[in-house]
Structure 1
Amino acid sequence: MFAWWQILLLTLYSAYQIMDELGPYSSAGQAVFAGLISGLIMGDMVTGLYIGGSMQLMVLGVGTFGGASRVDANSGTVVATAFAVGAGMQPEQALAAIGVPVAALLVYTDILARFANTFWGHRCDADVEKMNWGAFNVHYLLGGVSWMLSRCLPIFLALVFGQGLVEVVVNALNNDFAWLAKGLTVAGGALPAVGFAILLRYLPVKKHVPYLLLGFTIAALFSTVFTSIKVVAGDVATIGASDAVASVLADAGVKLSGGTFNTLSMLTIALIGLALSLIYYRDNQQAPAIAAASSVEEDDDDEL
């Protein structure tokens, strides 16, 4: 299922990604980059980006404070991408059946790494008291080794010894448990929505509802434009383009659909109008209060 060099590269990357998250902060330790790099190693970048992007959205609203542990979305992405490509699983199935459980299980290895670092931290404190800077550097670097082992060792074991188990699971999902496979596909597709829900729970949405409506509408419009850009270009050319322009578009690979150009829907116009109206109403409600505060400040300045 996996070549030895693929296991080696995925293991090395899993060791690096946690150190990047703790130190250099090059963003290579984010789930979407984990999907990109894992997809490149496995030879299917599209699947890697899909799983990594979905996992990134799933943990979008999840944050940690202080020394709190969290689900390891990066490691879950690496393992899910590897088995999705190697075993021929659907990306949604791999995300729900492998990625999320692995991300949750690696919370425990994260805790073990933190325990190990307390030992090396005390050694570093002792080295500072003795001014033994050479030993301090060694113990400091060993703390990083414990972090890397907490990620690369479980992933290495999963890639080496988990292939047979995953093959059995995939065969079962394709045959006797096809109903479960459909459920996992639906669950995997819904996971990004969970991340958005968590994020909206902590953002000041009530205070900025107009901008939420505008952002949603604009994002939906851009999604429509980018996913059907050829059809839109064909419709525009059909309506008002000359034969010469239509010929150029055909040479460029744009097929004229022969349909009619559709303007914005009434729902889109209504959402944009509602958002702008709320912004106008809020600004006009705040204007008298701001003017009153300004007048009070001017009166105080005159008295001084």
Structure 2
Amino acid sequence: MDLFTALLIALVVWLLISLEAWLSYPMINVPLVVSPIVGLILGDFEQGVVIGATLQLVFLGVMQIGGTLPSDATLGSAIGTAFAISMGQSTEVALTFAVPVALLGSFLTLFGYLLRGLFNPLVERLCATGNTKGLERLHVALAFLPELPKGIVIFAALYFGTGFAQDLIEIIPQTVIDGLDYASDLMPAVGIALLLRMMWSKKMSVYFFLGVILVAFFNLEMLGVAVTGVVISVIMLLESNNKGGKEVALATSSEAVTEEDLFND
């Protein structure tokens, strides 16, 4: 990959990673956003969307809870998508690179935390002296600086590693590629299962089985299931508002009766 393209992809992905926290987590660093952008830069937006949708399902249940360090889906998606498109390979190849790179990306996340920790003494000195301007500048810098190693890794991987990746793909046996093809069909189910494991409850299970019924027996597409969920949510919201209005009306009526009884006495 040429210098300008590798640098542009690294810069864009670095900004997406940094702005994710800066903009209060609008989910701009997920595969569904990162992969199409990488595909657009490489001139194959459609393939970027396909890869992004596949990787989004794979990493759907991966999130940071407490002190855990999950796989870095952003790093894996950027490098996997760029390698697959630049080499003219399929989505399965993107998955081949994305999953292990995402696992390695968690170490870079830890490195970013350690890098932020090095500035704690400086923060204490700025607080002690009341230097609010310095704190503001440091706050902005620490929003972007700890994620810089990820941008450097992306640039190095794309600029220096495309040829190596191409040679690696050529020596992989076809049986392994076929196995990855089948695995890529299973990974979305694994991602959804991880997500369900964290949010499953008896109260929500009815909606899960409703979705299964809509897909299995009525052959409804994913968009149709999503729209059905939105309609159900609106109905529940309207019912909740009506119930709240009735309770207020009953409470008002009860107060009025109490006042009448008071004056009647």
- Measured against the shorter chain, the TM-score band is 0.7 to 0.9
Equivalent in the alignment of 1:39: 39
Equivalent in the alignment of 1:284: none
* Aligned 1:28-67 pairs, distance under 5 A: 28-67=28-67
Kindly indicate whether the alpha-carbon contact (under 8 Å) linking 1:121 and 1:140 is maintained by their aligned counterparts in 2.
no
Listed one character per residue, the Cα deviations across residues 127-181 of structure 1 (whole Å, up to 9, x for unaligned) are 01111223323332332333221320111110111112101012223xxx11111
Q: Provide the rounded CA distance (Å) in 1 between the counterparts of 2:205 and 2:158.
A: 46
Q: 1:150 to 1:219 in 2, by over 3 A?
A: farther
Kindly indicate whether the alpha-carbon contact (under 8 Å) linking 1:69 and 1:107 is maintained by their aligned counterparts in 2.
yes
Equivalent in the alignment of 1:83: 83
Kindly indicate whether the alpha-carbon contact (under 8 Å) linking 1:18 and 1:147 is maintained by their aligned counterparts in 2.
no
Equivalent in the alignment of 1:222: 220
Kindly indicate whether the alpha-carbon contact (under 8 Å) linking 1:87 and 1:170 is maintained by their aligned counterparts in 2.
no
Q: Provide the rounded CA distance (Å) in 1 between the counterparts of 2:129 and 2:12.
A: 36
Kindly indicate whether the alpha-carbon contact (under 8 Å) linking 2:71 and 2:106 is maintained by their aligned counterparts in 1.
yes
Equivalent in the alignment of 1:157: 156
| Equivalenced residues, count | 221
Return the letter of the residue paired with 1:20: L
- Tell me by how many angstroms 1:87 deviates: 0.8
SS state at 1:62 partner: coil
Normalized against structure 2, the TM-score is what? 0.76
Q: Provide the rounded CA distance (Å) in 2 between the counterparts of 1:18 and 1:224.
A: 28
Listed one character per residue, the Cα deviations across residues 50-76 of structure 1 (whole Å, up to 9, x for unaligned) are 222222222222232345422110111
Return the letter of the residue paired with 1:47: Q
SS state at 2:113 partner: helix
* Aligned 1:144-293 pairs, distance under 5 A: 144-173=143-172, 177-219=173-215, 221-223=219-221
Q: Provide the rounded CA distance (Å) in 1 between the counterparts of 2:10 and 2:156.
A: 9
Which residues of structure 2 form unaligned runs of 5+?
A: 225-265
Q: Provide the rounded CA distance (Å) in 2 between the counterparts of 1:224 and 1:110.
A: 33
Q: 1:168 to 1:214 in 2, by over 3 A?
A: same
Equivalent in the alignment of 1:266: none
**Superposition RMSD in Å:** 2.1
Structure with the bigger RCO (C-alpha within 8 Å, sep 6+) is 2
- Tell me by how many angstroms 1:225 deviates: 10
Listed one character per residue, the Cα deviations across residues 104-130 of structure 1 (whole Å, up to 9, x for unaligned) are 101111111100101123312220111
Kindly indicate whether the alpha-carbon contact (under 8 Å) linking 1:71 and 1:104 is maintained by their aligned counterparts in 2.
yes
Equivalent in the alignment of 1:130: 129
SS state at 2:153 partner: helix
- Tell me by how many angstroms 1:224 deviates: 9.1
SS state at 1:222 partner: coil
Q: Provide the rounded CA distance (Å) in 2 between the counterparts of 1:74 and 1:66.
A: 20
Equivalent in the alignment of 1:104: 103
SS state at 1:162 partner: helix
Q: 1:9 to 1:217 in 2, by over 3 A?
A: farther
Return the letter of the residue paired with 2:210: L
- Tell me by how many angstroms 1:200 deviates: 1.9
Kindly indicate whether the alpha-carbon contact (under 8 Å) linking 1:77 and 1:99 is maintained by their aligned counterparts in 2.
yes
Normalized against structure 1, the TM-score is what? 0.67
Q: 1:207 to 1:133 in 2, by over 3 A?
A: closer
Q: Provide the rounded CA distance (Å) in 2 between the counterparts of 1:207 and 1:91.
A: 36
Listed one character per residue, the Cα deviations across residues 75-100 of structure 1 (whole Å, up to 9, x for unaligned) are 111111111111122111221x2001
Return the letter of the residue paired with 1:102: V
Q: Provide the rounded CA distance (Å) in 1 between the counterparts of 2:223 and 2:26.
A: 32
